[in-house]
Amino acid sequence: MNDLYIPDCLFPTDNELEIPTLLIERQASVCEIPFVCYGEQKRTFNMQGTGTLHFYTDDYRFNAVYEHPERILQHHPANIVEPNFSLFNETPIAFGMQAVYKKRFIARAMQEKGINVFVDLNVAPKFYKINMVGIPRGWRSFCTRGYSDRLNHLAFELEMAKFIANGEPVTFVVYGGGELCKDFCRKNNCIYVTPVIAMKNKLKSLEKFKDSIAFFGQDISSVCLLQTKDEMFNKQIEDFSKSTSLP
């Protein structure tokens, strides 16, 4: 049987909207590198059963995964963050319900294939309640996108995560947002992830200066640049949490 095959089906649900219910035993237990964005890698990029694939990017890059969820499987990630279909306060509720259905359907389909899931909390406040549908009580693994000018949203999303976790320690991942969001993670025992694009931009800046850092006639710039690259990617995830890993 084709390992990439996903049947057209209805998954079990616990709600009147018939939004699929996630498998609590298939929540992500750790946030591991590489933490990469779908659509920004080659289609042949193989994560070899490691790392985390997320969807914090323009919707056009991943809109097709609802019809073709096997495209996620082609990358072989250990974990995914639920697809983040854009939802704004101006978005009609009916469209929001559909977006939540799609993200939860894709997440459940990935769980059925052995991939663990972080629930995505990055929606407009108007959709906070709908976005909780299909998440079983006691779920502990969450991810959101950080914005330096929306720290109040970040704080509220963390409280929602704690409410859903029902007293259990949460794994709360914040993707990007710069130093202010990193400081929020540090103060609230969360995990901060530096976007790959931010690291690539920093490396490009260093590349411009590599020809000017020769030392005693030896060109050590390439060595230094390689060491810097390895160090940056190894430290992409900064874990400020004090909670233990999920079982």
Distance CA 215, CA 77 (A): 41
* Whole-prediction pTM: 0.87
pLDDT of residue 113: 94
Q: Supply the mean pLDDT for the chain.
A: 88
Distance CA 220, CA 61 (A): 39
Which is more confident, 4 or 209? 4
Which is more confident, 236 or 232? 236
pLDDT of residue 44: 81
Distance CA 137, CA 125 (A): 20
Tens-digit pLDDT profile for residues 22-36? 999 999 999 989 999
Tens-digit pLDDT profile for residues 125-182? 999 999 999 999 999 999 999 999 999 999 999 999 999 999 999 999 999 999 999 9
pLDDT of residue 234: 80
Distance CA 74, CA 67 (A): 15
Q: Token digits for 17?
A: 């909207």
* Mean pLDDT value across residues 205-234: 57
pLDDT of residue 194: 93
Q: Token digits for 66?
A: 């609802």
pLDDT confidence of 203, banded at 50, 70, 90? low
Q: Token digits for 231?
A: 């160090």
* Mean pLDDT value across residues 106-123: 97
Tens-digit pLDDT profile for residues 121-137? 999 999 999 999 999 99
pLDDT of residue 197: 77
**Percent helix, percent strand, percent coil in the chain, to nearest 5:** 40, 15, 45
Tens-digit pLDDT profile for residues 34-86? 999 998 877 788 999 999 999 999 999 999 999 999 999 999 999 999 999 99
Residues 236, 191 contacting (CB under 8 angstroms): no
